[in-house]
Chains A and B, each alone.
Chain A
Amino acid sequence: MPEGDDTTSHEVDTSTSGCTPEVSPSKVDSGANLTLKGKTTCSSLEDLRGEGIRVLDQKGALVESSEIIDFDGETNETSEFVVKAPVLPGAYTWVMVCPGCSGRGVAESRVPFSFEVKPHDTSVVVWSVPPTIECGEKFSVKIGVKCSSECRPAPWIVEIRDEDGGEQGTSTVAGERWPGTSALYYTETELSAPDKEGLYLWEAKLIGDGLAVPHTECISSFSVRVVPIPECVLTIEAIDIISRNPVEGARVVVHPYEGLTDETGIAELRIPKGGYQLFVSGKEHFPVRIDGDIKEDIRISVELRLDLELSDADVWL
């Protein structure tokens, strides 16, 4: 099998009849699709089209049968067919039963093949966390869960814990899919910020226990920045340096505070007193950095230079 090929072939030499199951993938999500194909060869080069190949589970029960539809003069093949993998994770050995070669009186051949069933992998995504939250303030975040088999939520329970493991909230992810994604289901959860300023690292943990289909647990970290009540208002006016027109949608950042300019090119940030490093950038404008010190409300006009597409002259002079 080539490296990286997730298909497993199993062949037993029966000397008179070769039966070869092909299984893909070799590690499959619980209850997910398992793709099989059967091949068999008679030493007499017999055409077995119309005969069936059967698949038996670990208890000998019939899982599926598939008709042989191709014969190339040597090998008989079924088409690919799909069966459901077991739900319970673990290693499985099933059996493929190929028909005998009637011309030589060879009995049907039984070839075991193995695969592994694993719990569904999950990913937890946390977003829309406000860049700054005032002490004790309530805030909301979005929490999404993605299953490797794109399961819809059962629903799923996600716990939010702080750095010390203390529970800050529990949210339930139901069937609402986040726009633009194929199967990221999400919920919005309200949380409370700590009373003291600082940068906190919290966790969102998917609880995998108790689900009908096993899922792995998954933890995703996210930062919560708690700030004191700002004292000053920094008003930014962004204008294009050439056209003198206001620049709408420019980003205004005095870390960790940030905002966007409105249609008049104005943005207001409420920030604490002290030194600051201001960036104003976009849309399609080069960033401008201004360092300063703020003691009271101030207004700053920032001239932005448009990032024009490079001309030949820009490139080649």
Chain B
Amino acid sequence: MAMKKEHPVGDSKPEKEKGLNRRDFVKSGVAAGLGAGGALLEPSKAQAQVPPAGVASADWHYEVDVVIAGGGCAGLTAAIRARDLGASVLVVDQNFDVGGRMLHSGAWVSFGGGDPVQLRDMKGESDSEGFITVDPLENPEELDDNIELLFTDITDWSVVDPKGQNPYRYNERELVRAWAENCPATRQFMMDNYVRFTRVTGTHGGGGLSRARAARCFLMLGDKTDIKAGTITAEDAGVADFERTSPFAPVQMNDASRSVGPNAVMNGVALSRSLEFSAREKGVEFMLHRSFDAIVREEPFVGRTQGITAHYSPRHHPETGELLQSFWQNGNIDERRETVNIRARQAVILASGGHAGNPEVRSMFYPALREPAFPTSGNALQGSQGQDASALIAGMRVGANLAGMQQNLSYSTTFHISTRLGTRDAYTSMMPGHPTFGFRGSAGVNVGSAGFEEFIAVNQVGKRFFSEVRLPARPGLNAYPGDRGAPGRGLEHKPLDWRNCRKEWVREMYNYDHGLDAALAMNEGSEAPDYYSGPLWAIFDQDAVERTGWELHYPYVSDNGYFFQADTIEELASKIVAGHEFQRVPLSYLAETVANWNSYVDAGVDPEFEREADAPMSRIATPPFYALSIMVIWHDSYGGLRVNGRQQVVDTQGEVIPGLYAGGEAVGGFNKHGLGKGHVHGYIAGTHAVEEPSI
């Protein structure tokens, strides 16, 4: 539990007398009505400055055994694990609620290596509570996994994906070995902390090709939301009203009847809220609205990690202006000073996410994505400081090395064009009902891939840049089981076989469309020094609306600068310029582009992008005319801090930075998407962090 370094009024005991005895902390915390952790603070304490290195002991505002920056999948798992092993734990998160991106995820968690869910499904058993009433979805031989096979899969040099990239050969071997070895234990750990897993269905990106390893997380619909009982109300799950979600579930939960049985719902809510509930129940403390800034080390590049500094990052309700509050409050520390210094007696764990939300940092991978018009996924929920590269930046400042930086470009889904138009936050399907909906203002219109034939897509100057119907196309990735693009489609995958990357095979398999790159290309409106490509617009007319039935009303669209309607094309161009925050130049060519397009439709030939080969073309002629924003989304990060198999951060000399751990998207060298990576990292980091000597 976090302990303040100042004394409450009337308490004459010296700080150290209350000191390091964990039981005493618990007692004083409970007495103060602050839950198991029970931290207090003096509001009169002077604000601390962010130090470049060591902070004098008198400047510490809090101290705990383990400080964790970030309350997402890696941070929350590490927190529970460290707490289970006896440490006092404080999680600092920039957001107002716990869960990070895990909360709005699909909760498809890929482990393997013979994990308990694989074994359960192999035997055809239900879960311990008897919720699962459907048969296993995978054959036993597809679930018959072991750690060696998993390790082989995720270091398989021979696999090349349809984008011509290599998902596994660049993975850090020690890191992924440890990950593979800890997969079964982490699955069990999560189940022990109220996480319920569906039947195993396939595997997840970067989880290897040879076995089915992924399961989703679910809850059962019931009269009451009760994590212990595994139930959630339809209102909390966001399934009671098609156009409404809830403060509990920022994204509506999905039907899980196929992989669990009737009345089961699934997504990141079932995962994140369950872990959060367990963490709070066990006495993990949270300091929310607080953005991690820097690691405090004895010297800038030498010595033990001592703690962190973090600044106040309050998020306010977009309509009422009130300070947003987490769904659950127990264990929260309401700290509002501008900057606080938090001492970690044993370890600091960096789990504050990746860099997809930081255009300056992500531009090292793709300079065109320095364009700030395109946010990372879940921007409304996470806020502007989500995925801000804070761990990477802070780590570099104390000498940390980086790993896997080129792996960011492997996944086609790392950055892509969304089929959800008309909203800045185009990755998620959040509806009104969650307090952060106002940050996006509209849910957007998901036109699907097929919907792209209904409009022309133009850049910031109003020019087309690619065949619209190919813009949303993504190459399928290698997968197992089944024949979803695995090497030797329809054939059993053989790891480490040179034929997997035989050039003839790769040529046949390669199917990447480069529309995304065309969308980010420089155009007449791009200006030095950044040459921003600017926003993208879907332009269509009333006939398209009538053909498709697109719902151009709230909550799908709103007057938020991402949807426009006008009587004429010229007026539409003017409205976009006046109303969109990143439209820096006039759409000077829009009227000409529409006129040209209509002439192509009349001629039946699109000489610019050969649209006539793929889909019918339609005139844009019937008023009113519309523009919906098209968003490029950078979803997640693979490059990051270098860590070893204990999740210890390693410096540029190959030496461990004492007391400093990292996991999840803060870490590089493991090209695996999502939760499966982060949870195991958190489990490993939490395990070893408490083995550090206490200072």
Contact B548 A282 (CB under 8 A): yes
- Which A residues lie within 8 Å of B598 (CB)? 223
Of the residues A123, A223, A285, contact of B568 by C-beta under 8 Å: A123
Of A82-90, A103-111, A307-315, the one contacting chain B is: A307-315
Q: Does A256 contact B (CB under 8 A)?
A: yes
Contact A310 B567 (CB under 8 A): no
Contact A199 B448 (CB under 8 A): no
User: How far apart are the CA atoms of A317 and B483 in the complex, in Å?
Assistant: 11
Of the residues A125, A286, A316, contact of B623 by C-beta under 8 Å: A125
User: How far apart are the CA atoms of A178 and B548 in the complex, in Å?
Assistant: 20
Within A226-284, the residues touching B (CB, 8 Å) are 249, 251, 253, 255-256, 258, 277, 279, 281-284
- Which A residues lie within 8 Å of B565 (CB)? 180
Q: A125-B621, A181-B623 are in contact. Are A253 and B616 (CB under 8 A)?
A: yes
Q: Does A135 contact B (CB under 8 A)?
A: no
Contact A287 B623 (CB under 8 A): no
Query: What 1/0 mask marks residues of chain A from 166 to 199 whose CB sits below 8 Å from any chain B CB?
Result: 0000000000001011111000000000000001
Nearest A residue (CB) for B204: A316
Q: Does B462 contact A (CB under 8 A)?
A: no
Q: Does B542 contact A (CB under 8 A)?
A: yes
User: How far apart are the CA atoms of A253 and B448 in the complex, in Å?
Assistant: 21
User: How far apart are the CA atoms of A225 and B453 in the complex, in Å?
Assistant: 22
Contact B547 A283 (CB under 8 A): yes
Contact B571 A317 (CB under 8 A): no
User: How far apart are the CA atoms of A144 and B571 in the complex, in Å?
Assistant: 14
Q: Does B674 contact A (CB under 8 A)?
A: yes
Of the residues B448, B469, B615, B673, contact of A284 by C-beta under 8 Å: B448
Shortest beta-carbon distance from A214 to chain B in Å: 19
Q: Does B42 contact A (CB under 8 A)?
A: no
Within B469-505, the residues touching A (CB, 8 Å) are 469, 474, 476-479, 484-485
Nearest A residue (CB) for B420: A309
User: How far apart are the CA atoms of A284 and B542 in the complex, in Å?
Assistant: 17
Most interface-central of B204, B604, B623 (chain A CB within 10 A): B623
Q: Does A128 contact B (CB under 8 A)?
A: yes
Q: How many residues on B have C-beta within 8 angstroms of the other chain's C-beta atoms?
A: 52
Contact A317 B615 (CB under 8 A): no
Contact A287 B616 (CB under 8 A): yes
User: How far apart are the CA atoms of A239 and B571 in the complex, in Å?
Assistant: 40
- Which A residues lie within 8 Å of B604 (CB)? 255-256
Of the residues A225, A281, A313, contact of B602 by C-beta under 8 Å: A225
Of the residues A221, A284, A307, contact of B595 by C-beta under 8 Å: A221
- Which A residues lie within 8 Å of B621 (CB)? 125-129, 222
Contact A281 B106 (CB under 8 A): no
Of the residues B548, B603, B616, contact of A258 by C-beta under 8 Å: B616
Within A294-316, the residues touching B (CB, 8 Å) are 307-313, 315-316
Shortest beta-carbon distance from B340 to chain A in Å: 38
Q: Does A146 contact B (CB under 8 A)?
A: yes
- Which B residues lie within 8 Å of A127 (CB)? 541, 621-623
Contact B204 A283 (CB under 8 A): no
Q: A123-B570, A223-B602, A309-B446 are in contact. Are A317 and B479 (CB under 8 A)?
A: yes
User: How far apart are the CA atoms of A279 and B613 in the complex, in Å?
Assistant: 10
Nearest A residue (CB) for B622: A127
Shortest beta-carbon distance from B199 to chain A in Å: 13
User: How far apart are the CA atoms of A308 and B451 in the complex, in Å?
Assistant: 11
Contact B622 A128 (CB under 8 A): yes
Extra inter-chain contacts (8) besides given A281-B616, A309-B446, CB under 8 Å: A123-B567, A180-B542, A307-B448, A308-B448, A317-B205, A317-B478, A317-B479, A317-B484
Can you list 23 residue pairs at the A/B interface with Cβ under 8 Å? Answer: A123-B569, A125-B623, A146-B571, A180-B542, A223-B598, A223-B599, A249-B547, A256-B602, A281-B450, A282-B453, A284-B450, A284-B548, A289-B614, A307-B449, A307-B451, A309-B448, A313-B108, A313-B201, A316-B673, A316-B674, A317-B204, A317-B205, A317-B484
